[in-house]
């Protein structure tokens, strides 16, 4: 039986077993590969997406349990029209290999939506589930502070 | 092939005899131009293997793996600097696997000199050895070589293309080429008229390429300054294509399980449960493992996990303790190399105090964020392989053999790499994907490893032991006698790549050990190779990753025994030996406000490693917070000789340090019943946002030769942290990971 998902504002009919994680629906069925597979056990944050605005690990949400509208990195902005948080990533030259950054950005976007002026401790608390093996953390932190400032000006 | 295998074996494990042979061989080959791999279509002109121009614009080829180190941007900048095109108006592609894209710097690194003290003659010899890399078509990204490799060649490619375009314009306009200028992708006529390169390319392609002198660095617009990375917007928007993101019409998805007793056989399997699981299309018997092809990666993985496999035993001792006992046995044999043997270490200088210490470091996984994967399409007569990889020509050779095709029938499509760190220089992920896809001719199949499969089937950084003996007198080190024992990843890799046995002195085993710029009169450093069949490979900074810890922890122990400040103790030995190295120590002393004293609850440690041509000093500060230790701050100084992109160098330096700190705090691969005991990130933690220190980096440029950037940040981080913990607690870290000994914030 097909399940209907609303992803980045578009409805998708998905014909896969109920227990397939949202991550693999997005990547292998819908073709949205910006959301990454890193560990499959919610230990790295590379698969972070928003469901009804909340940052979740899409590797842990079964297709039948998706409770609201899904926003992925592709729905957040595009190279020609970047969200403020993505522009901050570019301005601070954050990414190295870049594989974890979709998840980092989705986690950071959820943080800023909830807390427009995060302290370093707030950033530590919100971002510690997102692993980066290249060690880009100092620039991620700077980019989040910068995006917070720009969003307040806007 | 036999001769190439011999050269490979010799030059990887270089001895003086091999240098002569290598150069002679290379001279023969270097005079034969490698064929241009770019096959321009109608209206396109490939001016050389690195510059393609058509009506739509200019495309530059940067055939080095972009794994986060920024090579795509800086290689493009090298070409653009001479070609006179704007970086934001060009396309940069990786390009195919091709002999023309050989790495000219990799072989030079294998010379048995210390590096920091080389003469210009030896430097030139190293460059000459680069031709061996070409002769072997070694298109490899590794060894922190990309900038050394591309620095001249890419600028020459740009200059030659520019002058050839000018010649084409001169013929069209009927003027002398010297009257023409170039800017932003155009040739400018004496009267100010502009002709776009795109209009001239077809004419230029018919001309003999013009050689042109390189511009003086004072004229540079891009090099020496930081450029916005060309891959940044893609990576901030999820549009960058990694290997695992390749999507082709009608493709299938596969998951694999290989023997967790590494190198063991497969005695049989029962796939009756897996066969009927949802989405499953095919079960594949790989001989030494199984794979499932399905319509979804996760469904494929569920099914492959449901196969009941009878695995044969591993060809090495099944438990960690026995493995290290076997490594220790290597000390009983005569050393494989003694690349430093100064003075007389057998006699304790009169009045000197002897100090000894033993250290043990674990096996380590690379744990790239993107698990191993590759996508293959096999038609019977042709094979296409898409993957992030560090060695396109080697992987092409391997998968061609697997598919029983000529290498010309194999096309390698190199994507972005979700981390490399040495892991993606291996060939196994390409080979497995090829075998899987060959069972479904005409259908593209992507084979993705689970994180567990990736972590438990790595080519690990070898576990290593060191026995150190030293002597101090009048507050100075007067003797160091060090022995390191580990498996040789170089010998094993040569065997894997060529199928031939390898021998000779292994420089990689002792790098960071024998070649440190300290003036110690009696100084002997030896390497002992442990005979074990655990798969080992090149892990960011390779031998330096263990030797940096051994050398610099021992320096700290000697300084402490001498009652000296550990930074001043080092500086004194270095000052007259290598000024750029001393300059790095002086820089971190100043940056950190080093006084040699720390308040209660704070500890600081210093360490230094010269590796890949770059001296790096680091100071690390730890703080005790209610009994939990947090890494608070780090200061890094490196001397690049020439930093082509200083901000990118900074990113590589602190990134390399974080990679080292992850290993120092948490990294450990252990074995039980022949299987790796770590499965996923919860068992193999790393530095995260809340455990990462604040960091400040200073990039110096006084060294005589350009150094590497991707790896040298890693080695000194581990001893600097251990030394800081000693300063804080009085307890010496003689083994890693530190979490086994200290209450480190996790």
Q: Which of residues 42-81 of A touch B (CB under 8 A)?
A: 43-44, 46, 72-74, 76-79
At residue B603, the pLDDT reads 98
**Residue B619, CA distances (Å) to B183, B390, B498, B681 in order:** 45, 32, 42, 28
Separation in Å, CA A90 to CA A135, B383, B387, B433, B654 = 16, 37, 25, 34, 18
Cα pseudo-dihedral B419, B424, B425, B431, rounded to 10:
-170
Give, as one character, the DSSP assignment of residue B407: G
Picking from A44, A102, A127, the nearest residue to B681 by CB comes out as A44
- Chain A's closest residue to B227, CA to CA, is A93
- Report the pLDDT value the prediction gives residue B109, as an integer from 0 to 100: 61
B236 to A86: CB separation less than 8 angstroms, yes or no: yes
Q: Which fold has domain B33-102+137-236?
A: Aldehyde Oxidoreductase; domain 4 (3.30.365)
Residue % of chain B over a pLDDT of 90: 78
Nearest neighbour of B278 by CB, restricted to A17, A125, A135: A17
Residue pair B639/B583 in contact by the 8 Å Cβ criterion:
yes
DSSP states of A79-131 as a string? TTB--HHHHHHHHTT--SS-TTHHHHHHHHHHHHHH-SS--HHHHHHHHTT--
CA distance B635 to B633: 7
CATH code of the domain occupying A77-153: 1.10.150.120
Which 8-state DSSP code applies to residue B457? S
Q: How far is the C-alpha of B551 from the C-alpha of B532, rounded, in Å?
A: 24
Residues from chain A that touch B296, judged by Cβ atoms under 8 A, are: 16, 20, 24, 28-29
Q: Which of B267-281, B362-376, B484-498 has the lowest mean pLDDT?
A: B484-498
Please state the domain extents for chain B: 33-102+137-236, 243-312+372-448, 320-364+460-740
Q: What is the biggest distance separating any 2 CA atoms in chain A, rounded to whole angstroms?
A: 48
> Which range, of B45-49, B206-210, B613-617, averages the lowest pLDDT?
B45-49
pTM exceeds 0.95, yes or no:
no
> Using 50, 70 and 90 to split pLDDT, how confident is the model at B50?
confident
Q: Is the ipTM of this complex over 0.90?
A: yes
The pLDDT tens digits for B628-651 are: 999 999 999 999 999 999 999 999
Q: What is the pLDDT of residue B149?
A: 84
Hey, of A39, A45, A105, which one would you mutate to test binding to chain B, going by the most B CBs within 10 A of its CB? A39
B692 contact residues in A (CB cutoff 8 A): 135, 137-138
Query: Rounded CA gap, B38 and B45, in Å?
Result: 9
Give the pair of three-digit tokens for residue B330. Answer: 């290597």
Domain limits, chain A: 3-75, 77-153
- Domain B243-312+372-448, CATH number (from 3.20.19.10, 1.20.140.10, 2.60.120.10, 3.30.365.10): 3.30.365.10
Question: What is the token pair recorded at B607?
Answer: 């360490």
Residue B23 has pLDDT above 90, yes or no: no
- Which of the four pLDDT bands, split at 50, 70 and 90, describes residue B142? confident
Task: Identify the pLDDT of residue B281.
Answer: 98
Whether the predicted pLDDT of B375 surpasses 80: yes
Determine whether the interchain pair A133/B369 forms a contact, defined as Cβ–Cβ distance below 8 Å. yes
* Residue of A81, A77, A93, A75 lying closest to A143 (CA atoms): A93
Let me know: does B367 contact B681? Beta carbons within 8 Å: yes
- Model confidence at B19, in pLDDT bands (50, 70, 90)? very low
Q: Using CA atoms, how far apart are residues B663 and B657, in angstroms rounded to an integer?
A: 10
For residue B360, what pLDDT band results from cuts at 50, 70 and 90? Answer: very high
Tell me the percentage of chain B whose pLDDT exceeds 70. 91
**Residue contacts between A and B (CB atoms, under 8 Å):** 197
pLDDT at B7 over 50: no
Per-residue model confidence (pLDDT) at position B18: 28
Lowest mean pLDDT among B50-54, B240-244, B440-444, B522-526: B50-54
| CB spacing of B658 vs A131 below 8 angstroms | no
Higher pLDDT, B48 or A151: A151
- Greatest Cα pair distance, chain B, in angstroms, is 83
pLDDT at B140: 81
CA nearest B662 in A: which residue? A133
A20, A76, A79 ranked by CB distance to B296: nearest:
A20
Lowest mean pLDDT among A128-132, B489-493, B517-521, B546-550: B489-493
B27 has a pLDDT exceeding 60: no
Of B663, B666, B604, B667, whose CA–CA distance to B631 is shortest? B604
Report the distance separating Cα B616 and Cα B15, nearest Å.
27
Give the relative orientation of helices B392-403 and B428-437 as an angle to the nearest 10 degrees. Answer: 30
pLDDT of B146: 84
**Confidence label for B36 from pLDDT (cuts 50, 70 and 90):** confident
Q: What is the mean pLDDT of residues B476-504?
A: 90
Give per-residue pLDDT as tens, B422-444. 999 999 999 999 999 999 999 99
**How far is B179 from B421, CA to CA, in rounded Å?**
48
CB-nearest to B297 from A28, A79, A93 is A28
pLDDT above 60 for B570: yes
Q: Is 50 exceeded by the pLDDT of residue A15?
A: yes
Query: What CATH code would you report for A3-75?
Result: 3.10.20.30
Q: Is the pLDDT of residue B612 over 50?
A: yes
Q: What sign does the CA torsion over A34, A39, A41, A46 have? A: negative
**Range name among B23-27, B53-57, B615-619 with the lowest pLDDT average:** B23-27
Residue of B nearest to A82 (CA): B237
**Across B648-661, average pLDDT:** 98
pLDDT, mean of residues B595-617? 97
Fold of B320-364+460-740: Aldehyde Oxidoreductase; domain 4 (3.30.365)
Across B363-449, the runs of DSSP E, i.e. the strands, are: 373-378, 383-387, 410-414, 445-448
A82 contacts in B (CB within 8 Å)? Answer: 233, 236-237
Mean pLDDT of B131-159: 78
Residue A126: predicted pLDDT: 97
- Give per-residue pLDDT as tens, A60-92: 999 999 999 999 999 999 999 999 999 999 999
Q: What is the mean pLDDT of chain B?
A: 90
Segment A47-67 shows an average pLDDT of: 97
Which distant-in-sequence residues (6+ apart) come within 8 Å of A57 by Cβ?
A: A42, A45, A47, A48, A129
In Å, what is the CA distance from B101 to each residue of B35, B48, B131, B428, B626? Answer: 10, 11, 12, 22, 55
Rounded to an integer, the average pLDDT of B250-264 is 98
Instruction: List pLDDT tens digits, range B189-206.
Output: 999 999 999 999 888 888
CA torsion sign for B320, B325, B326, B331 is positive
């Amino acid at each position: 039986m097909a399940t209907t998902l609303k992803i980045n504002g578009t409805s998708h009919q998905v014909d896969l077993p109920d227990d397939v994680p949202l991550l693999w629906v997005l990547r292998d069925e819908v073709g949205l590969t910006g959301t990454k597979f890193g560990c499959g056990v919610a230990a790295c944050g590379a698969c972070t997406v928003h469901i009804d605005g909340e940052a979740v690990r899409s590797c842990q949400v079964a297709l039948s349990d998706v409770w609201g509208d899904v926003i992925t990195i592709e729905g957040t902005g595009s190279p020609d029209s970047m969200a403020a948080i993505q522009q901050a990533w570019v301005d601070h030259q954050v990414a190295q290999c870049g594989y974890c950054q979709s998840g980092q950005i989705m986690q950071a976007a959820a943080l800023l939506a909830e807390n427009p002026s995060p302290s370093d401790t707030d950033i530590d608390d919100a971002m510690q589930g997102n692993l980066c093996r290249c060690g880009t953390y100092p620039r991620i932190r700077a980019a989040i502070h910068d995006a917070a400032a720009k969003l307040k000006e806007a | 092939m036999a001769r190439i295998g011999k050269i490979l074996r010799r030059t990887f494990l270089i001895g003086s005899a091999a240098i002569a042979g290598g150069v002679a061989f290379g001279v023969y080959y270097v005079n034969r131009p490698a064929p241009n791999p770019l096959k321009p279509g109608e209206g396109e002109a490939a001016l050389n293997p690195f510059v393609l121009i058509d009506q739509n614009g200019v495309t530059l080829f940067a055939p080095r793996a972009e794994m986060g180190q920024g090579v795509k941007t800086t290689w493009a900048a090298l070409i653009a600097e001479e070609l006179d095109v704007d970086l934001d108006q060009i396309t940069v592609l990786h390009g195919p696997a091709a002999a023309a894209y050989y790495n000219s710097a990799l072989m030079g690194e294998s010379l048995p000199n210390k590096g920091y003290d080389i003469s210009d003659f030896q430097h030139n010899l190293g460059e000459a050895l680069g031709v061996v890399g070409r002769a072997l078509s070694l298109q490899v990204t590794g060894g922190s070589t990309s900038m050394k490799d591309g620095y001249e060649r890419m600028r020459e490619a740009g200059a030659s293309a520019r002058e050839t375009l000018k010649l084409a314009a001169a013929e069209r306009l009927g003027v002398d080429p010297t009257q023409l200028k170039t800017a932003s992708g155009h040739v400018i006529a004496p009267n100010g008229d502009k002709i776009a390169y795109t209009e001239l390319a077809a004419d230029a392609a018919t001309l003999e390429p013009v050689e042109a002198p390189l511009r003086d660095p004072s004229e540079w617009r891009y090099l020496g300054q930081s450029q916005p990375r060309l891959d940044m917007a893609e990576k901030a928007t999820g549009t960058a294509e990694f290997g695992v993101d390749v999507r082709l019409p009608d493709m299938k998805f596969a998951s694999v399980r290989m023997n967790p007793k590494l190198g063991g056989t497969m005695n049989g399997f029962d796939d009756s449960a897996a066969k009927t699981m949802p989405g499953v299309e095919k079960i594949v018997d790989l001989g030494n493992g199984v794979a499932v092809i399905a319509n979804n990666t996760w469904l494929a993985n569920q099914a492959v996990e449901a196969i009941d496999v009878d695995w044969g035993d591993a060809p090495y001792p099944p438990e960690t303790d026995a493995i290290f006992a076997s490594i220790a046995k290597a000390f009983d044999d005569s050393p494989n190399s003694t690349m430093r043997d100064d003075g007389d270490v057998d006699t304790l200088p009169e009045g000197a105090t002897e100090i000894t210490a033993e250290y043990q470091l674990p096996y380590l996984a690379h744990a790239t964020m993107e698990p191993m994967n590759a996508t293959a399409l096999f038609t019977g007569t042709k094979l296409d392989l898409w993957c992030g990889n560090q060695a396109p020509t080697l992987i092409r050779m391997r998968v061609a053999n697997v598919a029983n095709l000529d290498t010309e029938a194999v096309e390698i499509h190199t994507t972005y790499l979700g981390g490399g760190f040495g892991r993606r220089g291996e060939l196994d992920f390409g080979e497995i994907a090829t075998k899987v896809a060959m069972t479904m001719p005409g259908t593209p199949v992507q084979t993705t490893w689970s994180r567990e499969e990736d972590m438990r089937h790595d080519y690990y950084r070898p576990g290593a032991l060191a026995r150190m003996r030293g002597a101090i007198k009048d507050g100075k080190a007067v003797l160091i006698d060090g022995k390191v024992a580990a498996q040789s990843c170089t010998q094993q890799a040569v065997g894997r790549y060529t199928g031939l046995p390898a021998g000779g002195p292994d420089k990689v085993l002792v790098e960071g050990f024998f070649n440190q710029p300290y003036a110690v009169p009696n100084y002997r450093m030896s390497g002992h190779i442990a005979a074990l069949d655990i798969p080992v490979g090149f892990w960011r900074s390779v031998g330096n990753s263990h030797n940096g810890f051994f050398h610099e922890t021992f320096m700290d122990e000697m300084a402490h025994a001498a009652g000296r400040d550990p930074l001043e103790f080092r500086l004194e030995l270095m000052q007259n030996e290598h000024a750029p190295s001393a300059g790095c120590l002086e820089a971190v002393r100043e940056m950190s406000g080093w006084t040699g004293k720390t308040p209660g609850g704070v500890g600081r440690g210093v360490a230094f490693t010269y590796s890949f041509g770059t001296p790096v000093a680091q100071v690390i500060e730890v703080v005790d917070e209610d009994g939990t230790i947090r890494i608070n701050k780090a200061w890094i100084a490196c001397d690049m000789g020439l930093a082509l992109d200083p901000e990118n160098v900074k990113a590589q330096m602190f990134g390399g340090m974080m990679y080292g700190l992850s290993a120092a705090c948490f990294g450990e691969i252990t074995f039980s019943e022949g299987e790796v005991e770590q499965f996923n990130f919860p068992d193999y933690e790393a530095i995260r946002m809340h455990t990462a220190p604040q960091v400040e980096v200073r990039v110096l440029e006084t060294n005589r030769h350009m150094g590497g950037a991707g790896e040298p940040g890693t080695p000194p981080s581990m001893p600097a942290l251990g030394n800081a913990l000693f300063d804080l607690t009085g307890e010496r870290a003689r083994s890693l990971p530190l979490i086994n000994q200290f209450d480190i914030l996790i």
